[in-house]
Amino acid sequence: MTVKMMSAHEVTKKVFQKEALFILDVRNEDAFADWKIEGENFEYLNIPYFELLDGVEEIIEKLPSDKEILVVCAKEGSSVMVAEMLSEEGLTVSYLRGGMKAWSEHLEPVKVGDLKGGGEVYQFVRIGKGCLSYMVLSNGEAAVIDATRMTDIFTDFAANKGVKITNVFDTHLHADHISGGRKIAEQTGAMYWLPPKDAEEVTFEYAALEGGNVVTIGKTFIDIHALYSPGHTIGSTSFIVDEKFLMSGDILFIDSIGRPDLAGMAEDWVGDLRESLYSRYRELSEELVVLPAHFMIIDELNEDGSVSEKLGTLFINNHGLNIDDEVEFRKLVTENLPPQPNAYQEIRETNMGKITPEEEKQREMEIGPNRCAVR
Amino acid sequence: MSITANEVLDAKGLACPMPIVKTKKAITNLEAGQVIEVQATDKGSTADMKAWAESTGNQYLGTIEDGDVLKHYLRKASDIEEKAETKYEDVLNLDELRNKVDGEESISVLDVRESAEYAFGHIPGAVNIPLGELEERFEELNKDEEIHVICRTGSRSDLAAQKLSEKGFKHVKNVVPGMSSWEGQTEGNQ
């Protein structure tokens, strides 16, 4: 039987379309327990590759005969070995090209809406890590928001669309992934905007993004209004794009809210977080479509793979927006928090320009799920 | 500190799964209790070496970073060691040893594990003479001193204590079970 290769793009489509897939994950048990490919109809078996060096006979009966099987490892090598062994036993299986490394880096662009005068908004779903980036296109120009470190995806996308990236934003200083914002700005000559309160220690030039700023994309059509909304970080700033979309950064997600502890200031920032979510956001139109910088669980994905919801709906359904008691709210966001993201201190320093790790190191720093939210 | 190994395996430049595949093969040629140094550049190899050693009963000693090279030290499993009966009668438990180590008086601890095991953590001040070298090196020790012999689980130290006793050492104590359960201070590469 043959061994097939499956790309991260193909697996992403299976996640979006809720297809069935049986994943044989051959990484070691700790790595699997920490982080795996999530899909609503995916089933799993975790057997470290080094337990299969003498043969795969023992696991064959644990594999389904009526489902597609995907062998997954960290970087590909071990999954190819195991897939070939299974193939020799007569099974048809695939391996994931580039392994979890590729999965972590894959971005799937999904269109989330139209803008006045023919513009578009795209969401870039980093399916393996739960990060969401955006591109706002209008009249030959584009803005990129919360870009990941895989910058080619954005610059290639803009080139294909025939638009020039003129403005790049980060809603806050990220702690869970390395921002590609500065690099894109350098490559394209775009303006790089950062909230100044998050940028006090940065080592590079940037444009100070503050509440009340309005940036126009495409000369005449689209405005991006900045809205100061601290709480996840002290500088966290949301954007209202074209009076229609609310880019909420890491303050508000679909089924969770931002955590205030990643800069070691949970106690100080919890009040800001509550103010942003319970006062500032309450003053906005409930018709705004919320586009967050993360999702935490795949249940937050819409049918087409996008992650978005009307603000009014979130006011009703999001538990984090419905805690009347301040003490209880404080408890939720400061106690029993999920583990902090892998290497988050180093990631913050990288995003400040204080350290410049090699690409391999950067990749390693980002391994694992994002953990920016509390539910 | 240089760490000696019975075998050095070069797995530099190899991607997963090859470092483990090669280690598995190389370790079959070792005698039980011997130490292998595996040189690898694959960053994922550290976690995998640990997990593989655990699943196979071999002992993962530790890893040293030397530039881009990761040097992993593993010791081949030894069944005898796990279940051997101890014969030497004058034994001391870890709590008693810890009281002495923490106390005012300086004491003499002889660690008879392999040098690589010793390198990754030993009782401060302990002298290392691997069991296999004791026959040639026992004269380095002072016969008049009280010597506390320790290994990982108490069986190598039992053999060492017997040997020293045969050589005329009168004040030898075997510390049981050994470093595997030691909770006091250690020094070395961690």
- Every domain of chain B and the residues it spans: 7-77, 80-181
Superfamily of domain A107-374 in the CATH hierarchy: Ribonuclease Z/Hydroxyacylglutathione hydrolase-like (3.60.15.10)
Cα separation values, A19 from A24, A110, A159, Å: 16, 18, 32
**Contact present, A134 and A120 (Cβ < 8 Å):** no
**Closest CB from B16, B24, B51 relative to A77:** B16
Amino acid A298: pLDDT = 85
> Is the Cα dihedral A38, A39, A45, A49 positive or negative?
negative
In angstroms, the CA A102 to CA A104 distance is 5
Bridge partners, A70 (sequence order): A23, A94
**Closest CB from B16, B21, B43 relative to A53:** B21
Amino acid A1: pLDDT = 63
Name the percent of chain A in helix, strand, coil, to the closest 5: 30, 25, 45
Say if residue A220's pLDDT is above 60: no
Q: Cβ B20–A50 below 8 Å, yes or no? A: yes
Say if residue B17's pLDDT is above 90: yes
In angstroms, the CA A311 to CA A308 distance is 9
CA distance B36 to chain A (A): 18
- Chain B residues within an 8 Å CB radius of A31: 47
Amino acid A276: pLDDT = 93
What's the CATH class of domain B80-181? alpha beta
- Chain A residues within an 8 Å CB radius of B55: 48, 50-51
- pLDDT average, residue stretch A300-320: 94
- Chain A residues within an 8 Å CB radius of B52: 28, 48, 50
Pick the catalytic residue from A6, A21, A73, A277: A73
Say if residue B35's pLDDT is above 70: yes
| Full-model pTM | 0.84
Only one residue has tokens 């006090």, namely A200
**Domain positions in chain A:** 3-103, 107-374
What's the CATH class of domain B7-77? alpha beta
**Closest CB from A50, A360, A364 relative to B48:** A50
Say if residue A6's pLDDT is above 80: yes
- Chain A residues within an 8 Å CB radius of B20: 49-50, 53
Among A37-41, A163-167, A259-263, B161-165, which stretch is predicted with the lowest mean pLDDT?
A259-263
Confidence check on the interface: ipTM exceeds 0.85, yes or no: no
CA distance A174 to chain B (A): 25
B151 included as an active-site residue: no
Say if residue B79's pLDDT is above 70: no
Superfamily of domain A3-103 in the CATH hierarchy: Rhodanese-like domain (3.40.250.10)
Tokens of B31: 């005698």
Q: Cβ B17–A28 below 8 Å, yes or no? A: no
Q: List the single residue in A with minimal CA-CA distance to B50.
A: A28
What backbone phi and psi angles, to 5 degrees, belong to B115? Answer: -60, -30
